[in-house]
Amino acid sequence: MPPIRLQHPHHVVNTLLQFATPRAAAVIATLLVCCCASAQTTGSMVGKATDPSGAVVPGVAIKATNQATSFSREATTGVSGEYVLSLLPVGHYTITAQKEGFDPYRLSNVVVNVNENIRVDVPLGLKKVAESVSVTASSVAEVETRSATLGKVIDETKIADLPLNGRNFLNLAVLQPGVVPAMSLGSNNTPEFPGGEKSDFQVNGLRLQSNNFLLDGADNNEPFLGTAMATPSPDALEEFKILTNNYGAEFGGGGGSIVNIITKGGTNQSHGSLYEFFRNDVLDAGNFFAIKKDKLRRNQFGGTFGGAIIKDRTFFFFNYEGFRLRQGQTQIATVPSDAQRAGIFASGTVTNIDPTATALLPLIPRANVGTNEFVSSPVQVQDTDQYNVRIDHKINGKNYLSARYFLINGTNDRNFTNTLFGVSINLSNFPLQDDYRIQNLAVSDTHFFTTTFSNEFRFGFNRGRFDSAISTIVRDPASLGFNLPSTKAVHNMPLIALAGYTAFGTFNDSPSFRRENTYQIQDNLTWMHGRHSLRYGVQILKNQMDIPSSDSIGEGAFLFLPKVETATTNYLPIQDAFANFLQGQFDLFTQAGGVTTRAWRFSSYNFYFQDDLRVTPTFMLTLGLRYELPIPPTDTKNRVVAYRPGTQSTVHTNAPPGLLFVGDLGITRSTIQTDKNNFAPRVGFAWDPKGNGKMSLRGGYGIFYDRLIGLLPFQFGLDPPFDIIPSVPNFVENHVIPGSSFGDPFAGGSPFAGKTAQQVADSNIFPLFSFLQVMDPRMRTPYVQQWNLTYQYQAAKDMVLEAGYVGTKGTKLVQPVDLNTQVGSGRPLVPNFFQLSNYQTTDNSSYQGLQISANKRMDYGLTFLGSYTWSHSIDGSSIPVNFLNPSSEAIFPEDKNNLRLDRGNSAFDTRHRFVLSALYELPVLKSSSGFAHQALGNWQVNGILTWQTGFPFTVLDTSDPNLDGQPTDRPNQVGNPFGPDTRTPQKWFDAAAFVHPHLGTDGLVARNSLEGPGISNLDFSLFKNFRVSERQNVQFRAEFFNLFNHPNFDIPVSDFNSPAVGQIHDTRLPNRQLQFALKYTF
């Protein structure tokens, strides 16, 4: 389905670019404040007033009053008897209606949720008595009849009461159709904070970086990875909603989903809570792979308090939560067997063991399970403290001001980590530590000029300090036999990566420091005019990402592959990476040094218009257009490079051909052109066939643009001459550097010897065999096309059934490609370059899904949400940056000249997924009183049942059989990988079903062609409430995560050359864990 693209918008865009400065941004926002309200933090209410005969009644005065704060909105029914109340803050409302000749009407406890249109029809009776007529909520319809947007609200009750492992509300996102939990990523460039990639998710076949997070309507995205930034405690949240398909034009910056989070505010009545959640390993089941039970001490404690400073006018809310974790982390590392340590392999015996290898061997523990597995369970220490405060103030009956500030400080230990070569460090004797501080501020002003014309202005600010991957153990490289000068202040041992085994040594990004600021100005206008609901708005985002220091690869990194060369006097060809390690025959050594300081700046200017048109009383048409102008990242000192083959730089005349800089002809400050063609039309319809709000048929199509995450420019801080990454490709028959050895790869000629980082940068050198990271000159903004056709039916007064077809197509998605590879002939650009990572927008994706749900709101003590998804997701790469590679995927395509070979199942493709979440207040003795009620009444049970098929994985062949110089190949398949003795942790698939392809040819096994283990899990909780008084309650909780202790395995080792190939070393979900909690509320 081709997108709708305007071909020549440049005359408009060039005018807009004149405003692309901080000063002009402020001017634009100031002008718009006066003329331009957003549906991003509110809901709306629609309905029809009728008399006893069913005829419509115009001129009825409708009023909705918030029961907690007395906030009210008014409207009058038109000639069709219909009314619309927009911009209603979430909460419970009382609806009143009055008209001469009719009884006054009153309806209480009407719930308004964020980004939802609730229908409340008003049946008026002829006037008989003076008192108002109170009715039940049976006239409330919960079917969506005004919008084609898909998504579900997770309300306060579900957030507070569902068994939430880790008490991170983002984990509740996977309750709804089309959402799957995050795949196992290899990212370690940023601390593990609560909103990070391990808490993220994929929506409708799109990458986790395609989600856009909002906190009280303000930007809440961590710009480096594109995950959530601030994650308040569940006790600080009113609700949140995930918009998963065809959302309105006011939303952008993410083609996957919009996660709209609303925090609690104060009310006229003081309210609050004190709580503690506690876990101890004494009550838990043991990890499936652990030799002994993992240690666990986990405490989450805090409180909330809110109320009125001035009744009906000024309100406050405060929350604090502390978190303390001491938890064992079981990990299985693939290590050499005792025979292999002695040099004994099936195809020969190594006798000439390198002295550096001998010195390093004690750092690799011996197997303690089987012959090649080492199991360890080091304790992870994690501490956080977070604070959240909100103030809401009614300036007058037409003007409302709100401000909210969030702060979290945290530290975290990391015992295991991935590396730049895609080989993980699974040993606990190379620990790292993270430290972070996140702040988020949102200020909004809402003004109702009339009942039909309103405006909302919002300012948002994010600040993050991330100090990550700080090594807590330092080993002098000289003591291990290395001669590796470094520009780092503290010199540690290098990284040693053995394909098919565990890596060990210093993580390649240790340490890394990052400072981030995001400024947001947003203004929106809503105008209700006849049959039209018009919305217009503008959003300006400014991002600052400063890198005060990043010592990436500063210690050096060795890669050993299971490659063989011709036998020599000192070399025995054995196709095993550890055999090459013992002989000191590395495939590659690389080391970085120089100035890594960068100050990245990137911004976005966004404008939208939308018209919700009521074509007939039963048919709504939504027409919207959004324009996004992302300004590519630039460094304040222009420390960037570009690659244009065959062109010689005039800025650095000694640079190798093709390497260009700012100041060279045609090279912009970002090295790429600004993409000015980002028009995003949206169209949708909603049809109410019966006109009573109980049934709808909805559909829509739209274009949605993604953001480029900050991890992309971060990598360009390692390019020469500012920061150099020389490498030493080591071939047995012909050393690149004469005299090079494992202990001294530069053979005494290190470019870092005796130099500081600044001196290296000032030397203006371009070493041979350099690593290079660049952005493709044809890079464009990634975009997604979304469409859906959905049927909704209100099966009962409190339950809505939904079934729909949902599709997405991602285009111009970012993927890394190593340009310096050629099948059959290695690396054509040596010796000037070794690895040339080109980030290009050449990937695409496709998703088709059937999504079914049943949503029952709370009534008779029961509420539930059941979701089923049957889908298929296809792409060529599931990550935008190779540092994010899942553990089952290669970091580059198999063949740069045939990218279609990598088109296959997405790494997060899940064919079937079913989730049922429910809360039930047991009716036992509910209506009784006295001791029996206190002892046996007020019980509640809750649960989340999850079943899904497994994520796919790729069988890899790291021996580089296609001879292109990059170990990202795949084997050929010659048999059935899932025979009768497979699908067990010891042998998930049969490696004998695969063989090496012929040398110089690509392997034919498809990417992600095998399916890993599925998920089957039940989280369950039991509550007992002790009512102290009418407004005070004490609640005791017992929560059981993975109640039946079912092991949910992760994907197996997929490197065809590993001695552990086919084995599973980890679980995706923890073993059964028990959590107790005591909570006091008033």
What's the token pair of residue 432?
């790292």
Phi-psi region of 138 (alpha: psi -120 to 50; beta: other; left: phi over 0): alpha
Range of the domain at 103: 35-141
With a pLDDT cut of 70, the percent of the chain lying above it is 92
> What pLDDT, on the 0 to 100 scale, is given for residue 55?
87
980-994 tens-digit pLDDT: 999 999 999 999 999
HSE at residue 454, side-chain half, CA atoms within 13 A, is 22
Phi-psi region of 18 (alpha: psi -120 to 50; beta: other; left: phi over 0): alpha
Average pLDDT score over residue span 487-494: 90
Strand 495-498 with 557-560, pairing: parallel
Phi, psi of 827 (to 5 degrees): -110, 105
What's the token pair of residue 121?
């029809």
> What pLDDT, on the 0 to 100 scale, is given for residue 141?
72
Query: CB of 868 within 8 A of CB of 852?
Result: yes
Tell me the residue type at 1001. Answer: T
Element (H, E) at 711: helix 711-715
CB atoms within 10 A of CB 787: 19
Residue 37 has pLDDT above 60, yes or no: no
837-891 tens-digit pLDDT: 999 999 999 999 999 999 998 888 999 999 999 999 999 999 888 766 666 678 8
Average pLDDT score over residue span 415-440: 91
1013-1052 tens-digit pLDDT: 999 999 999 999 998 888 899 999 999 999 999 999 999 9
Position 184 confidence tier, pLDDT thresholds 50, 70, 90 = low
Tell me the residue type at 919. Answer: L
Flag whether 109 is in a domain.
Answer: yes
Q: What is d(CA 621, CA 614) in angstroms, rounded to the nearest whole number?
A: 6
Flag whether 71 is in a domain.
Answer: yes
CB atoms within 10 A of CB 935: 11
660-673 tens-digit pLDDT: 999 999 999 999 99
> What pLDDT, on the 0 to 100 scale, is given for residue 565?
77
Nearest to 72 by CA among 52, 50, 87, 56: 87
Position 139 confidence tier, pLDDT thresholds 50, 70, 90 = low
515-528 tens-digit pLDDT: 999 999 999 999 99
670-699 tens-digit pLDDT: 999 999 999 999 999 999 999 989 999 999
Flag whether 41 is in a domain.
Answer: yes
Query: CB of 510 within 8 A of CB of 536?
Result: no
Domain tally, the chain: 1
51-108 tens-digit pLDDT: 888 888 999 999 999 999 999 989 999 888 889 998 899 999 999 999 988 989 999 9
Flag whether 985 is in a domain.
Answer: no
Helix, strand, coil distribution of the chain in percent, nearest 5:
10, 45, 45
Which residues, 6+ apart, have CB-to-CB distance to 225 below 8 Å?
187, 189, 190, 196, 197, 209, 709, 710, 711, 884
> What pLDDT, on the 0 to 100 scale, is given for residue 711?
82
Query: CB of 461 within 8 A of CB of 523?
Result: no
Q: What is d(CA 253, CA 605) in angstroms, rounded to the nearest whole number?
A: 11
Flag whether 310 is in a domain.
Answer: no
Position 367 confidence tier, pLDDT thresholds 50, 70, 90 = very high
Flag whether 845 is in a domain.
Answer: no
40-63 tens-digit pLDDT: 688 888 988 998 888 889 999 999
Q: What is d(CA 817, CA 882) in angstroms, rounded to the nearest whole number?
A: 9
Position 13 confidence tier, pLDDT thresholds 50, 70, 90 = very low
Tell me the residue type at 948. Answer: Q
Average pLDDT score over residue span 744-762: 93
SS3 352: coil
Give the residue carrying structure tokens 């666990």: 296
Mean residue pLDDT across the chain: 89
Please state the separation of Cα 816 from the chain's center in Å.
19
Residue 48's beta-bridge partner residues? 82
Give the angle subtended at the CA of 1053 by the CAs of 429 and 506, to the nearest 5°: 25
Position 26 confidence tier, pLDDT thresholds 50, 70, 90 = very low
> What pLDDT, on the 0 to 100 scale, is given for residue 885?
62
Q: Give me the CATH number covering residue 71.
A: 2.60.40.10
Residue 2 has pLDDT above 50, yes or no: no
Higher-pLDDT residue of 491 and 130 is 491
Flag whether 1041 is in a domain.
Answer: no
Q: What is d(CA 891, CA 814) in angstroms, rounded to the nearest whole number?
A: 13
Position 114 confidence tier, pLDDT thresholds 50, 70, 90 = confident
Element (H, E) at 760: helix 757-762
Residue 473's beta-bridge partner residues? none
Higher-pLDDT residue of 9 and 194 is 194
> What pLDDT, on the 0 to 100 scale, is given for residue 806?
98
What's the token pair of residue 1005?
């096994």
Nearest to 883 by CA among 613, 512, 611: 512
548-560 tens-digit pLDDT: 988 889 999 999 9
What is the DSSP code string of 179-195? EEEPP-----SS---TT
SS3 18: coil
Flag whether 129 is in a domain.
Answer: yes
890-948 tens-digit pLDDT: 889 999 999 999 999 999 999 999 999 999 999 877 666 666 667 778 899 999 999 99
Using alpha carbons only, how large is the chain's radius of gyration in Å?
A: 30
